[in-house]
Chain A
Amino acid sequence: MIRFILLQNRQGKTRLAKYYVPLEDSEKHKVEYEVHRLVVNRDPKYTNFVEFRTHKIIYRRYAGLFFSLCVDITDNELAYLECIHLFVEILDHFFSNVCELDLVFNFHKVYLILDEFILAGELQETSKKAIIERMGELEKLE
């Protein structure tokens, strides 16, 4: 199960934070700080997996943005790595060539996409097309 998802830039500014387990605000800030510190200086040749407390962080870097998932120690790391990539592809498709600023100004839409992709810490939909279509329908309602 995914415990939380973080999108952070190289400076450590959080662009999206989604928690599927309850944490205090102060605890969240601490987690975000620690995760950023863990992933930001890792050599690109290294594994995309870092142990974090009793869990594991699966992260992937896209340009200046780090996508980090915190998952259970027994979860399939490679699958979550692929999952991050699928999410990025969806964002890229939706914002047509996504950049950090799109995520900043449309953060609420990013959350909406994420809610169509992952729910309760589990994968909800694996088709990029289905999610993009669904987003189209939701946009029409605005």
Chain B
Amino acid sequence: MNPFSSGTRLRDMIRSIRACKTAAEERAVVRKECAAIRAAINENDNDYRHRNLAKLMFIHMLGYPTHFGQMECLKLIASPGFPEKRIGYLGLMLLLDERQEVLMLVTNSLKQDLNHTNQYIVGLALCALGNICSAEMARDLAPEVERLLQFRDPNIRKKAALCSIRIIKKVPDLAENFINPATALLREKHHGVLITGVQLCTDLCKISTEALEHIRKKCTDGLVRTLKDLANSPYSPEYDIAGITDPFLHIRLLKLLRVLGEGDADASDSMNDILAQVATKTESNKVAGNAILYECVQTIMSIEDNGGLRVLAINILGRFLSNRDNNIRYVALNMLMRAVTADAQAVQRHRATILECVKDSDASIRKRALELVYVLVNDTNVKPLAKELIDYLEVSDQDFRADLTAKICSIVAKFSPEKIWYIDQMLKVLSEAGNFVKDEVWYALIVVITNASELHGYTVRALYRAFQTSAEQETLVRITVWCIGEYGDMLVHNVGMLDIEDPITVTESDAVDIVEIAINRHASDLTTKAMALVALLKLSSRFPSCSERIREIIVEFKGSFVLELQQRAIEFNAIIAKHQNIRSTLVERMPVLDEATFIGRRAGSLPGAASTQTVPSVSLPNGVAKPVAPLVDLLDLGSDDAPAPSSSGGDFLHDLLGVDLSPASQQSEAGQASKSGNDVLLDLLSIGSPSAQTSSSTVDILSSNSSNKAQVSPLDDLSSVSLSSKSTSNAAPVMDLLDGFAPSAPKENNGPVYPSLTAFESNSLRLTFDFSKQPENPQTTVIQATFTNLTSNTYTDFVFQAAVPKFLQLHLDPASSNTLPADGNGSITQSLKITNSQHGKKSLVMRTRIAYKINGKDTLEEGQVNNFPRDL
């Protein structure tokens, strides 16, 4: 015999492990035992195999690796005696699961044991199969299990029934084989068999409509009778729980009736009486009774409408809601959530109680209640509800705030009756929980603020006050900084005073103080600091008296280690110092941001990814898709989208706000165009693309502007863009550039129209090209490429590459995104600029190569495009 194992019994091993005082000691004991067990395994020791495996299971439970014992399970299962098999199967269930290959080896043993003459061994095999069987095993052993559903011993029948559930879940095709034996089980008197039979039928109904139809037709009345007998049964000690006979069976029966009654008026009708009886007669002072009532209410709310029953159900929930037991209140909230769709009015009656639950100390209840309040909000009650929630925000737990804030923001945005109320509520939220506010939310707030022109002054003053008390809330700081940058003059001069406001006196330097605090705040992140720099630049023009001080603040950041801040500081400093004459034009107010575009964009972008670079396009009647300059980009650092030629003004504005991260490069040759001040500006902000094309593209923009002016007066243009902008002659071209932002921008400068082209199409992907050309530059074609996903898998790491022959020059802008959502649910756009040096002689030709990942797997698609329109 092995010297180590020398007969330590399981009990002794557990004792010695328990006696260990330190983790190291325990590891030593376990190591010794494991060594002994390995040795025994190597010697193929039969006598102690099941004892060793039992030890190994204990060791496994302590969290040590025990994979070396897996084969021992199989050996034990194959041995003849019950004690060995018992431990073998137990080990199988503990140490292995359906994904291990080893499991396949056990199929044969299981088959034999399922046919064993000893019913206890059959029971073991069924148990193991029910707990860990894989799809292959399910297929192989389904006939055995099916047969065992009719076994004489009820203990086997009930095990076989639950085993069948696992089998049909693994292999739904097998469901139809089980319909008849399963319905036979519903006639059983033995509670164990009946409850498992009911459960099997419930799962069958979920998997197969055929089963649902069959059971609904054949068994509904029988089940109603069974439930009636059960509900009326006299006291039976064996199944009694708190004075109710077998509440578990009650619940299972009610659940199956629910499945059968849903969507079927006749079946629902036949169960009305018994449901009414259960709902009225069940004792509700113990958990068991309440569990039944809860299930019964669920069934009543799910089956076809019966007004009387529903009233009864809602009343039960009302009673639950006022119960002192938290568990009961929890399930009531849970159920009311589902009842809202059936009878919102009835649920509204309990609003006050539900609102109290939001403030409960128990997180589980709070969470449920908050979700319920969220669905209860409508136009009429939004004001009091939002007030309650916002008031509660002040005292709520830190870990609940994120949820609460998100819900409040969503409620306020969805139901706000007027803008001032929306702004007021959002400011309260920002001051209380600004750190929990998501990016989309404050982007949306800025959109609303820019659109509420009569409230600009009010908003900036309210923010100024809020900042005094809540400067630690990051989002509040950002919004304040942004608003002071835009509307600082209104703050100082008390412009647009509303009756409800208390007048405040803010000097120009007070306003600058705020921005300075924000930029020097330790906690401020890059976005906030960058926004503060822009605000400072704007203020330097609005408050000439503070200009010098502002310059000093900006200069401090010339040495910033963050490239973005450094660059802004240097550029802005140059603007303040050297370009006084154009500064005021440069730092005009932001044009009003278009709400519809923003909402559309939000709906189109992926949830949770506000910075995805999707550019929604508005289809114009002439079939040319024109990208709408995205708002979020303006506020979002680091996203550089690909503007079409008509919106190249957008680029300019991006640069103005420092969104584009491309370095400022001085170019000397760009003096050819007419308005010198602007040229310098363009240079400074490095609009356009790499060197060779820079001069031409600059000319392009300006010349397209002049052609534009011929058709639309710049002033008209200007007013269509921004109501608040002042008109100075110097401003006109700048404003012109901005017109890319207005969705109604003139489209005449799109040049000749070319039909769209499907450049590439496979089973999984479609690529279409839309062309546009500037009339004054016939050699250059701008191609808007749109990629559509034709499969149901999302593509990630999407990269498009193109190659052209020497006579063509290709410039690829960055794609709108590198993720392509499934089912054509959105697309990636990318613009290409091709210059054809042989224009008129040769037509375009291109090779494409598209690489992406499906579920992490690389895919590559290549193609050649020869069918470009001839005259490109």
Contacts and interface: CB of A to CB of B under 8 A. Distances in A.
Given A82-B287, A107-B58, A137-B120, A142 B82 contact: yes
Contacts of B252: 123
B294 A76 contact: yes
A50 B364 contact: yes
A43 B362 contact: yes
In this complex, the interface size class of chain A, counting residues with CB under 8 Å from chain B, is 35 or more
Given A82-B248, A112-B86, A46 B291 contact: no
Interface stretch (B190-198, B518-526, B527-535, B672-680): B190-198
B162 A122 contact: yes
A125 interface: yes
Contacts of A138: 86, 120
A141 B251 contact: no
Contacts of B94: 111
Interface string A16-33: 111110110100010000
Contacts of A126: 191-192, 195, 239, 246, 248-249
Contact of B90 (A29, A108, A124, A127): A108
B669 interface: no
B248 A120 contact: no
A86 B242 CA distance: 12
Contacts of A17: 61
B578 interface: no
Interface stretch (B323-331, B419-427, B622-630, B836-844): B323-331
A45 B326 CA distance: 7
A93 interface: no
A141 B54 CA distance: 17
Contacts of B120: 137-138, 141
Contacts of B363: 46, 50
B723 to A, nearest CB: 49
B316 interface: no
By secondary structure, the B interface counts as helix
B191 A119 contact: no
A134 B127 CA distance: 14
B69 interface: no
A76 B57 contact: no
A138 B122 CA distance: 13
Interface in A46-82: 46-51, 76-79, 81-82
A123 B83 contact: no
Interface in B119-143: 120, 126-127, 130-132
Interface in B52-80: 54, 57-58, 61, 63, 65
Given A47-B327, A129-B238, A141-B82, A122 B196 contact: yes
Contacts of B127: 115, 119
Given A47-B327, A86-B241, A138-B120, A119 B248 contact: no
Contacts of A112: 86, 90
Contacts of A129: 238
B226 interface: no
A142 B287 CA distance: 38
A50 B326 CA distance: 12
B158 A79 contact: no
A108 B87 contact: yes
Given A46-B326, A142-B83, A19 B97 contact: yes
A14 B362 contact: no
B461 interface: no
Interface in B356-396: 361-365, 367
A19 B192 CA distance: 22
B793 interface: no
A78 B291 contact: yes
A79 B196 contact: no
Given A112-B86, A142-B82, A124 B327 contact: no
Interface string B242-257: 0000111101100100
B798 to A, nearest CB: 29
Contacts of A82: 241, 247-248, 287-288, 291
A46 B364 contact: yes
A128 B65 CA distance: 35
Nearest to A29: B63
In this complex, the interface size class of chain B, counting residues with CB under 8 Å from chain A, is 35 or more
B61 A22 contact: no
A45 B86 CA distance: 41
A22 B155 contact: no
A20 B328 CA distance: 28
Contacts of A20: 131
B189 interface: no
Given A105-B14, A123-B248, A76 B295 contact: yes
B131 A119 contact: yes
A127 B239 contact: yes
Contacts of B246: 126
B79 to A, nearest CB: 14
A40 interface: no
Contacts of B288: 78, 82
A22 B169 CA distance: 14
B327 A22 contact: no
B195 A47 contact: no
B445 to A, nearest CB: 30
B294 A124 contact: no
B287 A46 contact: no
B811 to A, nearest CB: 47
B195 A123 contact: yes
A47 B131 contact: no
A58 B18 CA distance: 29
B361 A43 contact: yes
A120 B90 contact: no
Which of A18, A20, A108 counts the most B-chain CB atoms under 10 A from its CB? A108
Contacts of A128: 238
A47 B327 CA distance: 5
A138 B248 CA distance: 25
Contact of A124 (B57, B158, B298, B330): B158
B773 interface: no
A99 interface: no
Contacts of A48: 327
Which of A25, A43, A125 counts the most B-chain CB atoms under 10 A from its CB? A125
B155 A134 contact: yes
A20 B133 CA distance: 10
Given A45-B326, A46-B362, A81-B287, A122 B192 contact: no
B217 to A, nearest CB: 25
Contacts of B251: 76, 79
B364 A79 contact: no
Nearest to A45: B326
A117 B287 CA distance: 20
B364 A51 contact: yes
A104 interface: yes
B83 A105 contact: no
26 contacts: A15-B61, A17-B61, A43-B361, A43-B362, A46-B364, A46-B365, A47-B330, A77-B330, A78-B288, A78-B328, A79-B291, A79-B295, A82-B247, A104-B18, A112-B86, A122-B199, A123-B199, A123-B248, A124-B162, A126-B191, A126-B192, A127-B239, A130-B238, A141-B82, A141-B83, A141-B120
Given A119-B163, A141-B120, 14 more contacts: A16-B61, A22-B99, A46-B363, A47-B327, A47-B330, A49-B364, A76-B255, A81-B327, A82-B241, A107-B58, A125-B158, A126-B195, A134-B155, A141-B82
Interface of A: 14-20, 22-23, 25, 29, 43, 45-51, 76-79, 81-83, 85-86, 104-105, 107-108, 111-112, 115, 119-120, 122-130, 134, 137-138, 141-142
List 4 A-B pairs, minimum CB-CB distance, nearest first: A78-B291, A22-B97, A120-B130, A46-B362
